């Protein structure tokens, strides 16, 4: 778990510690991109006042983007978005009820005026990449690290022997 720090740029919150295996993937990728973050488990239903304090103090701690993971009714990303004008990226957490489809539908159905960008069910890595892209708009060194990450992805696909004929190597 990433600890709160004054230099965190991404605030990651999920409904409970049981969501950490999914959300830790965002923490890991942000770390690889050298983007400081903090991770908290705060239920929008069981601890709404604590969630509101987290959001209210986030900008003062340097948070510029939120990633909010939630399962089931999945109100957490919407509550965060309702209390800030910082970008909020929702991560639907897989559930036993509907495999996460319930989470996905809850998050993407935000009312007009309170947007939440939403990634695939369990897509914490893509949430981290989207947060990095947002931050990179005003951070040239981060933009270079993000481009290097993308270039490495491309090279790994090109290095796969099953693609050799496509690259004229067979």
Calpha distance 108→161 (Å, rounded): 39
Range of the domain at 158: 140-170
The CATH number for 93's domain is 3.40.50.1970
**Predicted confidence band at 4 (pLDDT cuts at 50, 70, 90)?**
very low
Domain check: are 35 and 74 in the same one? yes
Q: CA of 140: how far to CAs of 67, 87, 144, in Å?
A: 22, 19, 6
**39 pLDDT exceeds 60?**
yes
* Whether residues 122 and 157 fall in one domain: no
8 vs 6, which has greater pLDDT?
8
| pLDDT digits 0-9 by tens, 22-33 | 999 999 999 999
Q: Does residue 52 fall inside a structural domain?
A: yes
Number of domains within the chain: 2
pLDDT digits (tens, 9 = 90+) for 81-116: 999 999 999 999 999 989 999 999 999 999 999 999
Token pair 């929702």 is found at: 90
Same domain, 111 and 28: yes
- Strands 117-118 and 88-92, sheet pairing: parallel
């Amino acid at each position: 778990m990433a600890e709160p720090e004054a230099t965190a740029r991404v605030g990651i919150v999920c409904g409970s510690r049981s969501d950490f295996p999914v959300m830790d993937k965002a923490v890991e990728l942000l770390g690889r991109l050298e983007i400081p973050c903090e991770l908290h488990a705060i239920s929008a239903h069981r601890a709404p006042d604590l969630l509101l304090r987290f959001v209210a103090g986030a900008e003062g701690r340097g948070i510029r983007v939120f990633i909010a993971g939630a399962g089931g009714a999945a109100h957490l990303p919407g509550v965060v978005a309702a209390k800030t004008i910082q970008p909020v990226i929702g991560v639907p957490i897989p559930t036993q009820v509907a495999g996460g489809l319930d989470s996905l539908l809850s998050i993407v159905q935000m009312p007009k005026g309170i947007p939440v960008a939403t990634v695939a069910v369990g897509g914490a890595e893509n949430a981290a990449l989207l947060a990095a892209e947002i931050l990179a708009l005003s951070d040239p060194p981060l933009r270079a690290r993000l481009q290097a990450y993308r270039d490495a992805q491309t090279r790994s696909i090109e290095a796969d022997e099953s693609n050799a004929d496509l690259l004229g190597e067979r």
